[in-house]
Amino acid sequence: MPYLFTSESVSEGHPDKVADQISDALIDYFLAYDPSSKVACETLVTTGQVVLAGEVKSEAYLDVQDIAREVIRKIGYTKSEYMFEANSCGIFSAIHEQSPDINQGVERKKKEDQGAGDQGMMFGYATNETDNYMPLPLELAHLLLRELSVIRREGKVMKYLRPDAKSQVTIEYSDDNRPQRVDTIVISTQHDEFGKDAAMLKQIREDVINIVIPRIKKKLPKRVQQLFNDSIKYHVNPTGKFVIGGPHGDTGLTGRKIIVDTYGGKGAHGGGAFSGKDPSKVDRSAAYATRHIAKNLVAAGLCDEVLVQVAYAIGVAKPVGLYVNTFGTSKVTLSDGEIAKKVEKIFDMRPYFIEQRFNLRTPIYSETAAYGHMGRESKVVEKIFNKGKNNELKLKVELFPWEKLDYVDQVRKTFGIQ
């Protein structure tokens, strides 16, 4: 029997994502000026106020207030009527030195013996239902909000848009787990006050259906375009009004959108957030590594869908376990347990080797903090830190290296896939 599956996304102006972006900007700045930095920082944002807290071990000295304001300005909180504005908000820093008890469990005389920065389990997932091996409901939910952000920044149509927004997409799947149609789209977008409530709602609904939806459909492959039809149920700003939003509407905290950050509820999640953590924290680095494994296994033709789990003990380099679940879609005559044993030999999951494989001690994290850490394009870019200042730094870095399909040939060779 067909079934419905739903995923949500939030925009870069959502209060939790504002917090994530500030935390990851701090990570990038610390790593840019001292790649050996150990950082775990949290951010809280509310009406007119930002609170920074966390632990750091670094040779870099940063103007954390200036970094936070730069992030807020870039997101678009630049007007006093938002009640949260880049230049005027208060910023309180309670960042202090990292616990030596934790650090002694991570650093070792031999770099390859580097221990995991915490215990826990991390999951990676991939499916061949989209070109980037991500679940379709989440991919569409992200795309809707990215396009809404582009429209807001262009300022040509829908000029009433403000930075905060949420989306949700429900897809109908067949018995064999293939997408059949788009069933429901939910979009709530913050907006200026520009008339009576009913008129505002009518205008926003019409603009979403007639401007946003056609723009995203053009960016989709034909097989996905065909899933859109005239019977889609739209819920646009279902509360009727969304003027008060962002950190003024809701307090935001780092790490509260972990399902948006990963697979939209498909597969599994180990519970650990990503933003604000340097790569010695396996919550982050091992989650990227398991996504890399999952994506390369599916791309190699080993299976249609796969979930990969890795687990660690704090201070111990070698994982305590690696688990693979192909959901019955495997194309090879091996059990999932046997597949896992072979995968262990292909991918070294010790923390130091994960860091080296993806060059994770480079400032590549700000870009991950909105619209998902997975399913993004791997590319080399130049980033500038402290632009125009005496300590200006330009660096070329590779974003989203865990999305590369650089192990496909090795997987095919190991498993005898033609």
Which residues are known binding-site members for L-methionine? 55, 98, 250, 281
Each residue of 367-392: b (16+ CB within 10 Å) or e? bbbbbbbbbbeeeeeebebbeeeeee
Q: What's the rounded Cα separation, in Å, for the pair 347 and 361?
A: 19
What does the angle CA 155 – CA 369 – CA 191 come to, to the nearest 5 degrees? 30
Provide the token pair at 250: 């809701």
Binding residues for ATP are: 14, 164-166, 241-242, 250, 256-257, 273, 277
Q: Which residues contact 58 (CB under 8 A, 6 or more apart)?
A: 30, 33, 34, 36, 37, 38, 39
Q: What's the rounded Cα separation, in Å, for the pair 191 and 207?
A: 12
Nearest residue to 267 via CA among 372, 135, 403 = 135
Binding residues are: 14, 16, 42, 55, 98, 164-166, 241-242, 250, 256-257, 273, 277, 281
Binding residues for K(+) are: 42
Count the neighbouring beta carbons within 10 Å of the beta carbon of residue 4: 11
Q: Angle at which helices 282-299 and 408-415 pack, to 10 degrees? A: 60
Binding residues for Mg(2+) are: 16
What's the order of all strands across the beta sheet hosting 120-127?
120-127, 305-312, 321-325
Q: How many CA atoms lie within 13 A of 148 on its CB side?
A: 33
